[in-house]
Chains A and B, each alone.
Chain A
């Protein structure tokens, strides 16, 4: 990293203000004015529209392996999804997925 201290703090400051303005945007500006039905319908899909697309590249090309596909991480991802779907519970999904990941990483050197 070759930035000056001032440049790093400038980056932190811009990101802090920018991120807050993004989060404040609609909630702060629109307030309690009613929103059109179509907008509300679209927004209900926000989490399922954002998170899968964010995760997919991380599962296929994990940074920890330098972008090389890793069977252990893919299996852990599949286990997480399966358990979360089956139990309908976030925490069980995380615990099951993490257990699968660590079991897989522990076994790999012996294969």
Chain B
């Protein structure tokens, strides 16, 4: 995670976040464009594809919903699958509580709307590294991380829609998402407990691949969290 090291007073928390969010534009540009291209290809109108991007604003869930809609799945199943993919964000929401729980309701609602993988992972890393941050600094930092990402997310989806199906398949844009997530995980594997959690997550998710979309991932994530916490507790007792 790229987290700047300079001490920042309150008014600079936003710009510190902005700086740390900036690298993600290289991820957001291909990913959001890809959604626009695929959605148009699948038969969604410009307004519908933009509706997904602006209102749902959750890449993996948008792709999951689109995939199932292309297969003409029953709509309740489409909704369940896409929401299951997003359930991990309930865990993100909970893990932000110690840092942002004291913020006013409107700020928490705004953070909730913008709480996706990149903003969450970047912000939580900063909060953990700097316990001295005030609640309002944390809020400004979160908004700063979202600031370069969100307009590009909207704009590049629109460009993808307009480009339609003229993007050649050999660009392999599909694999940008896995590469991004792997690159995010690398720097997080900082202890045996984190390694164990990641390993359990992979193994259980692969074992449960046959379950309906997103279900296996949720069980894998739960098992991995318990594993991480258990290994950490065990290591502390040994010392």
B residues adjacent to A (C-beta < 8 A): 1-2, 23, 26-27, 42-45, 48, 51-52, 55-58, 60-61, 65, 67, 69-70, 72, 75, 78-79, 82-83, 86-98, 100-102, 105, 108-109, 111-113, 115, 117, 120-121, 124, 169-170, 172, 174-189, 193-194, 197-202, 204-206, 209, 216-217, 220-222, 224-229, 232-233
B65 touches A46 (CB 8 A): no
A18 touches B79 (CB 8 A): yes
Give the number of A-B contacts (CB < 8 Å): 291
* Chain A neighbourhood of B94, CB < 8 A: 25-27, 30, 35, 39, 43
Closest A residue by C-beta to B102: A32
Interface SS of B by simple majority: helix
Interface residues on A, range: 35 or more
The 3 closest A-B pairs by CB, nearest first: A84-B186, A93-B183, A53-B205
* Chain A neighbourhood of B43, CB < 8 A: 1
A residues adjacent to B (C-beta < 8 A): 1-3, 5, 7-16, 18-20, 22-28, 30-33, 35, 38-60, 62-64, 73, 76-77, 80-81, 83-85, 88-95, 97-98, 101-102, 105
A22 touches B90 (CB 8 A): yes
22 A-B pairs, CB-CB below 8 angstroms?
A1-B70, A13-B55, A22-B83, A23-B115, A26-B93, A27-B115, A28-B112, A31-B101, A32-B102, A35-B94, A42-B225, A44-B229, A46-B95, A49-B197, A49-B225, A51-B185, A62-B178, A64-B175, A81-B182, A85-B189, A93-B179, A105-B172
